[in-house]
Structure 1
Amino acid sequence: MPTAIAVTSPDLVLPPHDRQTPPAVVQPQGTLESSLVGMHALIEQHGYVIVLYPASVPGDITRRLHTVRSVLESDRIALLGVDLPPLGLALLAQQLRQLSVCDFSPGVLASAARLLAHYIYAGALLGSVAKLDRVPVSLKSHAKSWVPGAQFAVLANPRPRLVRLGQEELTGPEFSTRMLVAAGQPPSDWVTATLAPDWNVQGVATVPLPQESVRWWGTSKLAEFAAGLYDVSVLYQLVSSVRREECHWCGLELIGDRCGFCAAPLPPPPELPAAAVRAGTSVRALPPGAT
């Protein structure tokens, strides 16, 4: 069975692209006993579990997840708090679900989340930025947000940016993407009619607005969007092109600089002997017998 990809809310589960994409598992938010039983069943069935949750969620949710892992005493649970807007996180979970049926080990799959997040363009069209604290907002923009009818286009990832609608443009990805749109109130077709064509997206899908989105963006007057890679062969090539290492703590494979399961950082490369280092020159190995 492929590694299980779990999320903390049902509205973070996007429809699969095809029949090969496994469903995401929603972690129960009831009693601690139900959470323990559910997680234990996932480990028994899949071997490893990767749980994605918004870094912005209340502390009681993260404490519950860490309590479950601690009580089960399992090193097969990866808890990944992701600093993406809710719709962007849902897209990331969908990408990991697509890759879970490939030949990646659980460690590589978990550490790939940080890599894939860099290629997700997540933002929103907002009717107010007065309570937005996830993206830097100038005092001038705060003042303009009180003007009736003012709208702002905000990009939270990968490079935060805020512009007044109609005055500036949001720079989009330079690679082929598919866009997800979750409309709140008031409805607006700017994302689908203007932004999507400007970004040359290969398709647009409308999905329900995640419950966490209103709190994340600080307003209910929004239309959230997320654009990212959608072809599993491209996702596979991206992840497989990164050098793999072995975690010195838990022994799992990883890519990048941190293990997704135990969070241990990759040790720095061993330092060369001080005598071998010469300022401004390259270091070469001495031949056998040389002094």
Structure 2
Amino acid sequence: MTSADLVLPPTDQQTPTAALLQAPEAQTMEHAIGDMHLLLEQHGYVIAVYPSSIQPAHERRLFGIRSVLESDRIALVKVDLPPLGVAVLVRQLRQLSLSDFSPGVVASAARLLSHYIYAGALLHSVAKLDRVAVSLKSHAKSWVPGSQFAVLAGPESQLIKVGPAAEPLTGPEFGTHLLVAKGQSQSDWVQETLAPAWKVQAIHDATLPGESSRWWGTGKLVEFAAYLPDISVLYQLVSSVRREKCHWCEMELIGDRCGFCSSPLASAENRSYSTGVLHQEVNASAAS
């Protein structure tokens, strides 16, 4: 992981922590290479997950380390989710790392699982929001005192102006837990309005990641992420996808792209995942 505040506490005693791959200003290249070499010696493979909002110099550092070590056992997984969503995904991958999945499957599972994380924020202004499409009308409304906006960044983008007559954000159709991290906003809209609308099974508090204010364009926010909490469901979801062998690096993978070398499968080889696992989860939640 590229930031310590993106490493969420484990949900059980088995989930391992994550190693921190520090930014160039915090560590020399020599020490960074040494740390990566030690991780490879200890664990065999390294899956480095980092947000797309990372500083360019930090991303170049990761590729530089892999190039110097000339290792095909380092996966660099770039994730296009807001900070709290990235933190949730990293914890899920940490949980799956204890399963019988190969490193290639765990690395490529990041793209699959990111589609089941509903990541967004309640914002008091969208004037500086540039990572989610915002209309000119919404920009104008953000200058009105007291305005609040609910924004969903993934799996699909959506924006609404919060108010009594507002339609709720489109949420997950399966059982989730909701992680909530407050910034400078004291609004309870996420807990009192969004959570019931999404029928979440539990709400958990988290510390707002340091990158969140820059990502969302304001420090006056409440960031949230709804996610699948059950490791057995995550395991079944990943297991339901056909496994392939990368034609380039020969790592095992799921989906349409290798998690280690990023080589795509030929279009005729692409496989879609089964939704049966999530349908079972929805039915189970409804029955309970």
Matches within 5 A, 1:55-94: 55-94=52-91
3-state DSSP class of the match of 1:186? coil
**Amino acid of the residue matched to residue 66 of structure 2?**
R
CA distance in 1, matches of 2:214, 2:22: 21
Letter in 1 for 2:90: A
Q: CA deviation at 1:28?
A: 2.5
Q: Unpaired runs of 5+ in structure 1?
A: 1-6, 271-291
- Separation in 2 of the partners of 1:37 and 1:182? 34
Cα shift at 1:56: 1.2
Q: Return the offset for 1:194.
A: 1.4
Residue identity matched to 1:32: M
Name the CA distance, whole Å, in 2 between partners of 1:186 and 1:256: 39
Is 153-162 or 191-200 further displaced after alignment?
191-200
Query: What CA deviation, in whole Å up to 9, does each residue of 1:155-181 have, x standing for no partner?
Result: 000110000001221111000111111
> Following TM superposition, by how much is the alpha carbon of 1:207 offset from its aligned partner in structure 2, in angstroms?
0.8
Aligned residue for 1:286?
A: none
Instruction: State the 1:186 CA deviation.
Output: 2.0
- Where do 4+ consecutive residues of structure 1 move more than 6 Å? none
User: 1:1-291 residue pairs with structure 2 within 5 A?
Assistant: 7-29=1-23, 30-166=27-163, 167-269=166-268
Alpha-carbon deviation of 1:247?
A: 0.3
For the 8 Å contact 2:82–2:153, the answer to whether it is kept is yes
For 2:265, what is the secondary structure of its paired residue? Answer: coil
Relative to its length, the structure with more helix (as a share) is 2
Contact kept? 2:168, 2:197, Cα under 8 Å: no
Question: 1 CA distance for matches of 2:208 and 2:87?
Answer: 11
Superposed CA offset, 1:4-59 (max 9, x none): xxx10000000101011111111123111121111111100110111111101110
Q: Match of 2:99, SS?
A: coil
Which residue does the alignment assign to 1:288? none
Deviation at 1:205, TM superposition (A): 1.0
Query: For the residues of structure 2 that align with 1:153 and 1:174, how far apart are their CA atoms?
Result: 19
Provide TM-score, normalisation by structure 2: 0.90
Distance 2:2 2:197 in 1: 33
Which residue number corresponds to residue 287 of structure 1? Answer: none
Kindly name which structure, 1 or 2, has the bigger radius of gyration based on alpha carbons.
Answer: 1
Gaps of 5+ in 2: 270-288
> Structure 2: which amino acid aligns with 1:46?
H
- TM-score scaled by structure 1? 0.89
| Identity level (%) | 68
**CA distance in 2 between partners of 1:268 and 1:154 (Å):** 34
User: Secondary structure at 2:268's aligned position in 1?
Assistant: coil
Alpha-carbon displacement from aligned partner over 1:166-219 (angstroms, at most 9, x marks no partner): 122111100011111110012211111211121111111111111111111011
